Amino acid sequence: MAKNIFADERMTAWMQEHLPELRQRYLSGQRLLYQSLAVGFGVGLAAHIGGYVLLSSAPSGGLGLVGDLLKSLGLSLWTGVVVVLFVQVIPEAKRRQITHALDEYEAVLRDKTQGRSAGS
C-alpha cells in the first residue's frame, strides 16, 4: 500500500507555504512544456553530434554501432521537438492570441452597449 506523503505534518506545512508559488510557476502557463522541449532539443542535438563524431572516428565494429544508434536517437529526439513546436506550441500560442483579441473586442462592445444604455 502506498504511503500518503501528506500525512506528515512537515510536508503539509511546506505545501501550504509553497502552494501559491507552485500554482503560479508551474500550472498557470506552458513553462513545463517549454522546459521539456528545450531539454529534449539540447540532449537530442548533443546526442546527434556525439553519434556523428563517434561514427566518423570508428566506422565499424561495436563503436560504430553505438555511434550509429546515438546519431539516430539524437536525430529523432531533436526533430521530434521541432515537430511538436510546429504542431502544438505555435498553434496554441496563436489560439491564445486570437482569444485575447476576441475578449478585448467583446469588452469594447460591452462598454459601447453600456454607454448607450446609460446615456438613454
pLDDT greater than 60 at residue 1: no
For the chain, the residue count is 120
Q: Does residue 5 register a pLDDT over 90?
A: no
Q: How many domains does the chain have?
A: 1
40 assigned to some structural domain: yes
Residue 6 lies in a domain: no
pLDDT range class, residue 117, cuts 50, 70, 90: confident
In a domain, 58, yes or no: yes
Comparing C-alpha atoms, which of 51, 31, 37, 50 is closest to residue 79? Answer: 37
**Which residue range forms the structural domain that includes residue 82?**
31-119
The helix-helix angle for 61-84 and 31-57 (nearest 10°) equals 150
Whether residue 25 lies inside any domain: the answer is no
Q: Evaluate whether residue 15 is within a structural domain.
A: no
- Considering the entire predicted model, what is its pTM? 0.67
Q: Is residue 11 part of a domain?
A: no
| Residue 7 cell numbers, joined | 500525512
Within a domain: 8: no
pLDDT in tens, 45-84: 999 999 999 988 877 888 888 999 999 999 999 999 999 9
Sign (positive or negative) of CA dihedral 96, 97, 98, 102: positive
For 92-107, the pLDDT digits (tens) are 989 989 999 999 999 9
Give, as one character, the DSSP assignment of residue 83. Answer: H
Does 42 reside within a domain?
A: yes
| Contact in structure between 78 and 46 (CB atoms under 8 Å) | no
Distances (CA, A) of 47 to 11, 35, 38, 75: 38, 18, 14, 8
pLDDT of residue 13: 86
pLDDT by residue (tens digit) across 12-52?
888 888 888 877 776 666 778 888 999 999 999 999 999 99
d(CA 6, CA 18): 14
